[in-house]
Structure formats: structure tokens, C-alpha cells
């Protein structure tokens, strides 16, 4: 669900959302594509890069000792083309009170009558 249909926030790759402590939710249907992208079997990917979520209701990517996501490499995501929906959906499909204070995404008006944004150069997080 798009929260603000007339605005699309374009990610500036500040990486703040990849450094927040907490779960990076991984859905079961996302496992195969990420494992394949990394050149791993699903079991190897699960063993090396995942853990139970804090609430034990599913899987999360693991984090580095610094608490940033294990897939963050500098300011790039190692699995960008196949990253979890939780990552791809922020901040346009979900966000939280006060998110603008910690996210540098730039608002761009959505063209009237079109289901696309005005900025074709967008590179979401």
C-alpha cells in the first residue's frame, strides 16, 4: 500500500535504514532468489545469513557487531536487486512516526494520471 499516492520518496542511499538495530524481515518466498543471487544453496544462505526474528515469528537477516545489516557493503546493498520487501517498501509503502528525521529520501510528485514517478533516475535503497 502506498501511503502518499501523490508523492514518491526517492532514496538517497544514506544507509540509515540499513543501520537501525532490529529485524530485517525475510519472507519464505524471498529465500530462493536471494540465495541464488549470492550463488548459495538455500540451506547455506539460511545458515550463514539468517536468524529467528526477535518475536520468533519468522526469519530475519543477521546483523554485524555494529548492528548494521550483514548485507550492507559501504553504502551499497549486496543484494539490492533481490532485497527483502521490507527494505524495498520503505518509506513509500511503510514508515513510522518521525521517519523523516532519520531518512534523507527526497519527495517527488507523482505525475497526475500515471502510475509512475517524475524522476526516472530513481534508485531505491
Q: Which one of the spans 39-47, 51-59, 103-111, 112-120 is the region binding ligand SF4 (CB under 6 A)?
A: 103-111
- Under DSSP, is residue 39 helix (H, G, I), strand (E, B) or coil? coil
Q: Of residues 14, 46, 82, 110, which one binds ligand SF4 by CB under 6 A?
A: 14
| Cis status of the peptide bond prior to 107, with omega within 30 of 0 | no
Could you tell me if 7 and 110 are in contact, meaning their C-beta atoms sit under 8 angstroms apart? Answer: yes
Contacts of 97 (CB under 8 A, 6+ apart): none
DSSP 107: E
Closest to ligand SF4 by CB, 97 vs 113, is 97
Instruction: Establish if 50 lies at the interface with ligand SF4 (CB under 6 A).
Output: no
Phi, psi dihedrals of residue 108, rounded to the nearest 5°:
-125, 130
Q: Of residues 40, 95, 104, 110, which one binds ligand SF4 by CB under 6 A?
A: 104
Instruction: Establish if 125 lies at the interface with ligand SF4 (CB under 6 A).
Output: yes
In the complex, the residues that contact ligand SF4 under the rule CB under 6 A are 11-18, 24, 61, 69, 71-72, 77, 79, 83-84, 87, 90-91, 103-105, 125
Amino acid at each position: 500500500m502506498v501511503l502518499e499516492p501523490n508523492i514518491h520518496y526517492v532514496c538517497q542511499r544514506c544507509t540509515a535504514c540499513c543501520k537501525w538495530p532490529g529485524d530485517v524481515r525475510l519472507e519464505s518466498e524471498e529465500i530462493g532468489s536471494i540465495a541464488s543471487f549470492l550463488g548459495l544453496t538455500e540451506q547455506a544462505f539460511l545458515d550463514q545469513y539468517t536468524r529467528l526474528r526477535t518475536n520468533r515469528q519468522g526469519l530475519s537477516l543477521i546483523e554485524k557487531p555494529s548492528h548494521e545489516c550483514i548485507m550492507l557493503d559501504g553504502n551499497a546493498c549486496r543484494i539490492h536487486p533481490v532485497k527483502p520487501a521490507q527494505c524495498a517498501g520503505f518509506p513509500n509503502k511503510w514508515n513510522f512516526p518521525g521517519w523523516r528525521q532519520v531518512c534523507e529520501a527526497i519527495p517527488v510528485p507523482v505525475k497526475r494520471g500515471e502510475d509512475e514517478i517524475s524522476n526516472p533516475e530513481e534508485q531505491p535503497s
